Structure 1
Amino acid sequence: MEVYVSDDLEKAIKILKKKMALEGLYKEIKKRRHYEPPSVRNRLKKEEAERRRRKNMKKKRG
């Protein structure tokens, strides 16, 4: 990932952090920090889907 800023280093860092957040790199880095077996990955994926489903149901009710 490249960021082009002429002079200000702080501005370049700010832009880089924003781009990383928008692309989901922070989540990806956190997820890959430690190995998790496929069974754990699948379980977490199902739990996240269930959370999203409940949240959507809650929104629809009121």
Structure 2
Amino acid sequence: MQVLVRDNNVEQALRVLKKKMQREGIFREMKARRAYEKPSERRTREGAEAIRRAKKAARKQAIREGLIAAPKKKPMVPRGQPRPAPAAAE
């Protein structure tokens, strides 16, 4: 994994690196490897992950086919500007 440091801005490069590691699932894997995982626990976890992936794929397919509505997208707020207060539900 490689991150470019521009204008000696190490803080920004670290943020980019952390985001890349998060997307790749490295932090999750490091947490899982801290302690021994029994084979039965591993099978249970992998089965649950497979079910989660299958449900996500089915949900995406249903959205593509128009069977269910897609989730509403949040409006983009430019950096440095405060987020608007959430509307009160009545």
Normalising by structure 2, we get a TM-score of 0.52
**Aligned equivalents of 1:44 and 1:9: distance in 2?**
37
- Matched pairs, number: 61
Mapping for residues 1-62 of structure 1, pairs under 5 Å: 1-5=1-5, 6-57=7-58, 59=59, 60=62, 62=68
Matched AA of 2:4: Y
Report the structure, 1 or 2, having the larger helix content.
1
Letter of the aligned partner of 1:17 in structure 2? K
% identical aligned pairs: 43
CA distance in 2, matches of 1:56, 1:9: 38
User: In structure 2, what residue type is equivalent to 1:46?
Assistant: G
Q: Per the alignment, do residues 51 and 22 of structure 1 end up closer, same or farther by CA in structure 2, a change over 3 Å counting?
A: closer
Unaligned runs of 5+ in 2: 69-90
Deviation at 1:36, TM superposition (A): 0.5
Q: Displacement, 1:14?
A: 1.0
| Partner Cα separation in structure 1 for residue 56 and residue 2 of structure 2 | 36
Consecutive aligned runs of 4 or more in structure 1 exceeding 4 Å deviation: none
Separation in 2, partners of 1:25, 1:43: 21
